[in-house]
Amino acid sequence: MRAQGTSVREAVAGSGHGRAAQRPGPGGPSELARLTARYRGLLDIAERLSASFDRAEIHRTIVEAVVALVGADAVMLRRNRGDRLELVDSSGLDPIVVASMPPLPTSAGWVKDVAAGGRAWVCDDVEKLPDAQRVIRFGTWLPVRGDVFVPLVHAGRLIGSLTAATLKPRHWTDEDVEIMTALGGHAALALRNADLFERLEARAAQLAVVQSASARMNSAKTVEAVGRAIVEEVGPIVDYHNARVYLLEPPDDVVPIAFEGKVGEYEIVDWGVLRVKVGEGFTGWVAEHGTPLCIADANDDPRGSQIPGTDAVAESMLVVPMRHDDRVIGVITLSKLGVGQFDEDDLQVLSILADQAATAVESARLLTQTESMAAELRRLLEMSQELSQTLDPIQVGAVIARHIAGALGVDACAISSWDVAGDRIVSLGEHPDRGQVLAHPTYDLREFPATRRVLESQVAEIVDVEQPDADAAEAALLRELGFRVLAMVPLVAKGQSVGLVELMSVGLVPFDEPRLALARTMANEAAMALENARLYEAARALADRDPLTGFFNHRFLYERLGEEVVRARRSRRPLSLLMLDVDDFKLVNDTFGHQFGDRCLVHLAEVVRSTLRTSDVPARYGGDEFAVVLPEADEAAAAAVAERIMDELARSPLQADGRGPVPVSVSIGVATIGPEVRSPADLVSAADTSMYAAKARGLEAGLEFDRIAEEIGSGGAPYGSTMPG
């Protein structure tokens, strides 16, 4: 076998020696006309091939051109599909034969030699070839005798092959070979152009899908919605079996936000096992390096790692970073069963989509932050407006607790103030109201070191009862109340801790920095309201209280009594009032002086205070007269309170300097609201009448209540004693 111009001619004789193809000498006019027509036909074919990008039309044109230009009995056009030449069009062959023809492997020695040389392989009579060569090249199914095999090569790349065959032996002239070789060159170029055009059309379609996907992603309002759009929109662009979208979360977590599985074990996956760290597996590697990966065989790449609970299968992967402002913010990972399922075009298109996705993610984050900020401002405004309507610390605490619990989505919120002098925190309000303010009005800070630490350091602290290092006292209280997690945030006003916000949850709540920042923002606003309420209460206390005894004064008595009367009548609950008057107080002042008289009044106030409930309201009515408002107390209960006061006075005489014990006695009148006693004035009048009746008669404790009440007709019962002379 030897080269002859642009062809390689196989010997026709059994010796196997080649012979040169003979070009006929110059002929007459008819021969010239034939040659001219033949080459004009070739030019016409070339023009037709260059004008079309339709693959099927190009195939048919090439096959018909061979028949027309070289007079072949059979034509075979093959295309290179990776590692083999597959028949795509033919002429002159039985369809059954065509269907049974296997592809030619490009790795076959003779195909590689011909393709490498880029020249035609010519055989005048196949039967003259050695049996082994004939079987390798034609098999046993083609009735071929003459054959020209032309490799279709463009830019050093094997595009396909073109074969002209005859059913009888044929001497192929150099002119035949030149025509076939020239046609092969035009065919290779046309097929390559068709491939490029098809890829351009595919790329245009892909870019159109990317544009549509980008519009959908950019309209998404949350990062989760962006992730969902990615896995749904990438399918028409790049075929996959599994798609995952991850976002980077500080410090080194790569967290899935979207997942889509289409086959078998890819359909359902535990999201927890998909989480990775930066640098871990293909996804973590791309997150760390920011370089896209096209992985032909995931099991053969050392950068990969097996997802726990999944089987090792032949798998291809595409992994691309989502970049924004030159930093990786996330990763898109596609998987497909089988080896070599993705190519560089897929990687490029997915990278374009990833860039669009990164912009959409950041836009969604910004929108979420903006909406969150607007919501926070609305909450702060609503809370501030409601707080401006009251200066009662208890009501302020309840309002703060309700707003903060709603804003942070926790199960409960408690607000307390810090009593620095008493080394305790004082319960002010909670949401929802579980009765804990009344059940636990104060907590001794000596028993709760973690709470003290928050107040003193002004740093929030999280307690999880499931953690072994959880503060024992806080964990015990949380278990008692039925909660698992507690976040303590200090209430800071003018740089000083004034109280505490306690956020409680039954389940595990991630108290991350954004959530704690919101809690601090609302706590700072609430702290000022709480401090204002405290200052107002202190100022109000000075205005409402008698400076000598510390009891409420006459003005506050009527204000509070009015509130209690309205509450009692609305709820149909009892309400009573005691009026007390020191017996012979003028004699005390005249005998021992006004300073001693003041000491008597202070002593009386201390005794009265020691006998009352926290809900009872003592007041100095004026001079030596006192009053006690008794909510939720009927006549019997009020009479019992009066008896306790008188008994305690009898047991606790005034210890005066330089004198022996000085007994102090009072006259007490009792009145309870009822049909004849309906207003605050009625209640004071009835109790006052009872008191003066007792004083006038010199009655002592223990007299029969019903008889006295019947005599004075006041609706109340007088109790009294006189101070010995």
Give DSSP secondary structure letters for 467-498: STTS-HHHHHHHHHHT-SEEEEEEEEETTEEE
Number of domains in the chain: 4
Domain annotation covers residue 270: yes
Distance of CA 157 to the CA centre of its chain: 51
Cα separation, 465 vs 467, in Å, equals 6
The answer on 637 and 571 residing in a single domain is yes
As a whole number of angstroms, the distance between CA 247 and CA 345 comes to 24
- CA dihedral (678, 679, 684, 688) positive or negative: negative
pLDDT for 266: 53
374 inside domain? no
- Asked whether residue 377 is domain-assigned, the answer is no
- 700, 702, 703, 704 alpha-carbon torsion, rounded to 10°: 160
Q: Which of 111, 61, 66 is nearest to 92 (CA)?
A: 66
* Residues spanned by the domain of 252: 220-368
Q: Are residues 690 and 614 in the same domain?
A: yes
615 φ, ψ (degrees, to nearest 5):
-85, -15
Which of 193, 228, 253 finishes a domain? 193
Q: Where are the beta strands (DSSP E) in 27-129?
A: 74-80, 84-91, 104-105, 120-123
- Residues 316, 229 share a domain: yes
Q: What is the DSSP letter of 127?
A: G
Do strands 496-505 and 412-419 pair parallel, antiparallel, or not at all (unpaired)? Answer: antiparallel
Same domain, 530 and 552: no
Assigned domain for 383 exists: no
DSSP character at residue 164:
E
At residue 659, the pLDDT reads 66
540 in any annotated domain = no
Q: Which residue has the tokens 């295309």?
A: 79
Same domain, 512 and 565: no
Report the CATH number that the domain containing residue 595 is assigned in CATH: 3.30.70.270
Kindly state the tokens that stand for 5: 């111009």
What is the distance in angstroms between the CA of the first residue and the CA of the last residue of the chain? 154
Q: Is 385 within a domain?
A: no
CA–CA distance, 13 with 35 (Å, rounded to integer): 29
**175 & 247 share domain:** no
User: What are 66's strand-pairing partners?
Assistant: none
Are 316 and 418 within one domain? no
Distance CA 292, CA 287 (A): 9
Using DSSP, state whether 442 is helix, strand or coil: strand
Tokens of residue 395, six digits: 């009501």
What's the gap between Cα 359 and its chain centre?
18
Q: Are residues 186 and 226 in the same domain?
A: no
How far apart CA 216 and CA 360 sit, in angstroms, is: 9
pLDDT for 27 equals: 55
Q: Do residues 531 and 582 both lie within one domain? A: no
Q: Are residues 185 and 253 in the same domain?
A: no
Is 299 in the same domain as 359? yes
Greatest Cα-to-Cα distance within the chain, rounded to the nearest angstrom: 170
Beta bridge partners of 679: none
What CATH number does residue 510 fall under? 3.30.450.40
Paired strand residues for 337: 315
Question: Does some domain include residue 183?
Answer: yes
Which of 504, 535, 566 is the last residue before a domain boundary?
535
Clarify whether residues 604 and 656 are in a common domain: yes
Distance CA 187, CA 195 (A): 12
Q: What are 598's two structure tokens?
A: 């003041």
Q: Which two tokens stand for residue 269?
A: 């996956």
Amino acid identity, position 710: E
Point out the domain boundary residue: 477, 510, 535: 535
DSSP secondary-structure letter at 307?
P
Predicted local confidence at residue 38, as pLDDT:
82
pLDDT averages per 10-residue partition of the chain, 725 residues: 42 33 53 81 86 88 91 91 87 84 82 83 88 68 85 88 92 91 90 79 66 76 88 85 91 90 64 84 94 92 75 86 91 92 88 87 80 69 73 77 83 89 88 84 90 92 90 90 91 85 87 78 74 70 80 89 90 93 80 81 91 90 92 93 91 75 87 89 91 72 37 41 31
Measured between alpha carbons, how far is 391 from 253 in angstroms, rounded to an integer?
Answer: 47
Strand pairing partners for 153? Answer: 158
Q: Is 266 among the domain residues?
A: yes
**Overall residue count recorded for the chain in this entry:** 725
- As to burial, measured by CB atoms within 10 angstroms (0-12 exposed, 13-18 middle, 19+ buried), residue 18 is middle
